[in-house]
Amino acid sequence: MNDDGFRQREAMRGLAAESLAEHQLLRLNQLLYDMLPHNRFYGAKLSSATLPLESLSAVTELPFTYKEELVSARQEGDLAANLTFPVERYVHFHRTSGTHGRPLVVLDTAADWDWWIDCWQYVLDAAELGPEERVLLGFSFGPFIGFWSAFDAVTARGCLAIPSGGLSTLARLELLESTRATALFCTPTYALHLAEVAAQNQRNVASLDVRRIVVAGEPGGSVPAVRQRIESSWNARVVDHSGATEVGAWGFADPAGRGLFVNEAEFFAEFLSLKTGLPAGEGELSELVLTTLGRVGCPVIRYRTGDVVRPVRRGDEACQFVMLDGGVLGRADDMMIVRGVNIFPSSIEQILHGFPEIIEYRLTARKQGEMDALYVQVEDRLEQPDRIARELELRLGIRIEVSTVPTGSLPRFEGKGKRFVDERNS
């Protein structure tokens, strides 16, 4: 680990609010100065803005950016509409998963990629990973940005990076053992699936050398029931992280496992109340809005992420960045109103993960007249769905239909788990 780099990040994490605001304003004005003369998308979108911005409060006068804009106005070859330079300037090609809408191709220049790696160092600090670590990356090769950015970030730190693309789950378990990997990077879903396959093959992942599991790609790393299930299976500490192809690696774990810090050294964050659409108060359920401060080749200004969070400020901590209590709680477009109760799939998932006998599950939302209805399918070793339905009713205050399906019949996931099937608009 570069001691100078760590000290610089430590200083940034400890900045008082006024100094942090000065840093963010300087970085944002520099970004706008560098990219606006070349970026047709934002050149048009911000044409009426008064620049340079005199304060961060002026940011709220700029228009929001929506993913639908980047997709609908995208360039030839499915390229994102917000690219600053001609394609010849870029060296990295990545694509969004398409989990929420059509896939989008996002490119990065060499300088942008260095920025990605710098953002990742905050994640690696939170995981307390030093250059002596052996890190296995449990992802397949492909346009998914998480593998590539994580791989380059750990090699930049001096770790031994162990790719596992193209391998089966059992082969990855064997590679974890033979390399004596000390850290694993994957989704929460896949960490649980690895443990499941190991048990099926009379192996015990807790006996491996893995002591840290860095997870991202879906809610779970900051959900107590999911964390506990992974940590008890692996005898390893779970470290949450969050990012997005079109935004960057914006979130890193709170050491106590309470949630995620927004990396405010590299992102300006806003929070919109889900109830009013206005700036959210402390601890209020809100949508996360992010502005990049250092990605000139593919910037986003006031980007509506769709991530549902609860922002809190804790002035007595070594890290002064805003924390998201519980991490990313779900997606704004996944929210259902079932019998008058607002429900996110992640709320259901947290309850289901409290049953160690549940191997896998799937949630399906359908319209029942004008109302939303939710159905839960589980692979349950006890085959007793009534006890699960009772717990859901006790915790959520509504009755949800739960049924069992044969073990192994529901899909398994290496990347983002797609356990929520929304058929309301079908």
Q: What is the DSSP string of 120-189?
A: HHHHHHHTT--TT-EEEE---SSS-HHHHHHHHHHHHHT-EEEE-TT--HHHHHHHHHHHT-SEEEE-HH
Give 281-335 pLDDT, tens digit per residue.
999 999 999 999 999 999 999 999 999 999 998 766 789 999 999 999 888 877 7
**C-alpha–C-alpha distance, residues 145 and 137, integer Å:** 12
Boundary (domain end) residue, out of 330, 355, 377: 330
**CATH code for the domain in which residue 364 is found:** 3.30.300.30
Q: Buried (b) or exposed (e) across 392-411, using 16+ Cβ within 10 A?
A: beeebeeebebebbeeeebe
The mean pLDDT value for 372-380 works out to 90
Residue 226 sits in the same domain as residue 349: no
Could you count the other beta carbons within 10 Å of the beta carbon of residue 237? 19
Structure tokens at 338: 């079932």
Residue 401 sits in the same domain as residue 264: no
Boundary (domain end) residue, out of 330, 352, 376: 330
**C-alpha–C-alpha distance, residues 10 and 252, integer Å:** 13
User: What is the domain count for the chain?
Assistant: 2
Ramachandran class of 142: left when φ > 0, alpha when ψ lies in -120 to 50, beta otherwise: left
Q: Residue 339: which pLDDT band, with cuts at 50, 70 and 90?
A: low
What pLDDT was estimated at residue 237?
96
**CATH code for the domain in which residue 273 is found:** 3.40.50.12780
What pLDDT was estimated at residue 162?
97
**C-alpha–C-alpha distance, residues 414 and 197, integer Å:** 13
**Kind of pairing, strands 105-108 and 160-163?**
unpaired
Boundary (domain end) residue, out of 330, 357, 385: 330
Q: Residue 220: which pLDDT band, with cuts at 50, 70 and 90?
A: confident
What pLDDT was estimated at residue 75?
67
Site of tokens 């259901």: 348
Could you count the other beta carbons within 10 Å of the beta carbon of residue 29? 15
- Given a cut of 80, whether residue 392 has pLDDT beyond it is yes
Residue 291 sits in the same domain as residue 346: no
pTM of the model: 0.86
Q: What is the DSSP letter of 104?
A: -
Residue 306 sits in the same domain as residue 182: yes
- Given a cut of 60, whether residue 100 has pLDDT beyond it is no
Structural domain of residue 409, as residue ranges?
335-422
- Given a cut of 60, whether residue 259 has pLDDT beyond it is yes
Site of tokens 């006998």: 357
